[in-house]
Amino acid sequence: MRLTLAAAALLLASASLSTALAQTADVREPGLLPYMVKDYAIEKSLTGKPGDAANGRALAITSGQGNCVICHKMPIPEVAFRIGNVGPDLTEVGGRLTPGEIRMRIVNPKLLNEETIMPAYYRVNGLNRVATRFANKPMLTPEQVEDLVAYLSSLK
């Protein structure tokens, strides 16, 4: 298979854009609040205020919303069925990552690792096989993202 010069340039530009986004970028998608990514983090709250950790904990175990426990080990003993071995252990994630780093991983983890299977919870462009109820809208609202950030940041 031969790539044309234009196709090769497009592939290189795409790879460079992905790397640049992870380092510093002002991200804007239609219908979503804009945010700044710098050094693999989104430092500013999407809503301009902190989230509610109790709501975030509830989202982490809610099927069809955050549902973090389906892939991550978490300190939530009342969840009877937890797979928790696909993604990293989140038991002490607040001690390992800053709130900004956690926020970026929730918003769009592909900025850190393009091969990740973790979904982008606050993104609408460039997604594949999106459930009908999430077509053209993010899986989480900005408030829900901030609630998850508050909860996960508390895990130390």
Structural domains of the chain, with CATH = 5-154 (1.10.760.10)
Q: How far apart, in Å, do the first and last CA atoms of the chain sit?
A: 51
pLDDT tens for each residue of 112-155: 999 999 989 999 887 777 777 777 889 999 999 999 999 999 99
Instruction: Report the pLDDT value the prediction gives residue 6, as an integer from 0 to 100.
Output: 43
pLDDT band, residue 44 (cuts 50/70/90)? very high
Query: Residues 6 or more apart from 83 whose CB is under 8 A from it?
Result: 69, 70, 71
Q: Determine the pLDDT at residue 58.
A: 95
**Amino acid identity at 108:** N
pLDDT 10s digits, 57-100:
999 998 878 889 989 999 988 876 666 788 999 999 999 999 99
Q: In sequence order, what are the beta bridge partners of 27? A: 35
- Model confidence at 9, pLDDT cuts 50, 70, 90, reads very low
